[in-house]
Amino acid sequence: MDPRYRFTLVISILLVFWWAYVVVSTFLIGPAGLNWPRYQQGVMLVGGAATAGFFTVWLATRLIAWQRQRKTGFEAEPTDEFGTAYEMINSAGTSEPFNMALSKFQPSLIGTPPAHPQLAPLEAEILGFLNGFRHWPIDPANPELTLYEQSMARWQLMRQLPTATAWHRVVALAKDLSVVSSLEEIRIPPRWYQVTAQDKITFKRRSVPNAGMSALILSTLPAFRALQHQPEGPAAARAMLCALRYAQTPQELPLNAGPLASSLVEGLARIESQLGLLDVAELDQLTPTRKEALTQAVLESWASVLDGQTPQAELLDTTTLYRSGGLSPQHWLKVATLLASLGPKLSAELRTTLKLWDAPPGDPRHHPSWNHLNPLLQELGFIEPKAFGVAAELGTFTLANGAQLWGPCVLLNLNEPRTLALKTKWQTLPQGPLAELALDPASLKARAELHLQTLDGKLREAF
């Protein structure tokens, strides 16, 4: 039972007991004999008590009904991603207009959306929404990984995708919103003598996370509903709902979903494959001051890091910097070598934070420092986000050396002012064969599509 109705029931019972007490004390055990003034007073008292009780209960139920129906600004869309209207059946078994909204208390729980010119309004609104659930875990069995951390990690990876738009970033943030409805927060108050102790918060699963619920919660946000008044808004809204609904089962995506929905689903699948390589808990460890210090340190030491390497024209196991031939020579630097060379250039505080005192063991893409250096180097323009029309995976590529693989590595951009001297210095060095990327089926498909688009453009120009 709704707590508000339970409270109303308790008040009603108390009013009945009060009315019974008045009747007993006034008429049954009162003074004997007819006392007309007292009789009139008793009638008014009993009648007033009954009337007051009736109107109190009636007003409480009307107030509860009004609270349920009033708009909160977070109403869900009455149609699904294909334009089919929802139909709600009430307790009487009859149809009524679709009416579903987040709680009226939800806006007060949501943090203020960040104001940034590069953030779309809907993107900023979801960031504020997630900020109100920073402590909610993705899985109660693993409380270390939170909804906020995983969503932010997926969002950061999506931002690095060259073809990503604002709609791609929105679906990256909204993919796990169903966790808000699938989990139930339980507060365990401390004992009466534990004055300074805080409530213990635990979570239990009340339903399985559902992709459709993520789409429904996204449709309740005011910025999403505002898309209906924009030229391309309805089509984008439909594509985002469709992408979220079929994110887990992309093979079931309808043929009439449209190219944007297909692009969103493909982007999510691509980011999910990269998300498994990251330690999500390490993504939010740098304060703004440390990030600024890291940026400055990279700017000052980047030329010296590269100058300490010798380009080679052969792909050997010992090769750390490969110079491939072609119309424009390319330089590929191993990520492990990059981290080992950059570490000594940083301050002791940054080396400790990024764990760069020792050479990174294993796959360097798993190293916590690469989570920060990868987007920073791309933002500064020191490494290329694409090679041969194929987007980098976590900023890195893997080269094929016959049957062997070489990497992971980054493709250097030597056209930056800080590295032009190195480009001139390395011009006379020998060049190896043109590098070949080791691609998975998804990357091969993207590369083939890019070449087809280029060919179509040339055909249109010629004919």
pLDDT score, position 282: 56
Please answer whether residues 56 and 11 qualify as being in contact, where contact means their C-beta atoms are separated by less than 8 angstroms.
yes
Q: What are phi and psi of 298, to 5 degrees?
A: -65, -40
Q: Could you tell me which residues are beta bridge partners of residue 387? A: 390
Q: Which residues contact 371 (CB under 8 A, 6 or more apart)?
A: 278, 279, 282, 283
pLDDT score, position 11: 78
d(CA 217, CA 215): 6
d(CA 302, CA 306): 6
Please answer whether residues 79 and 109 qualify as being in contact, where contact means their C-beta atoms are separated by less than 8 angstroms.
no
Please answer whether residues 358 and 347 qualify as being in contact, where contact means their C-beta atoms are separated by less than 8 angstroms.
no
d(CA 342, CA 406): 21
> Which residues of the chain are modeled with pLDDT < 50?
105
- For residue 345, the tally of other CB atoms under 10 A from its CB is 17
d(CA 274, CA 267): 11
Q: Which residues contact 38 (CB under 8 A, 6 or more apart)?
A: 26, 30, 31
d(CA 261, CA 267): 10
pLDDT score, position 168: 94
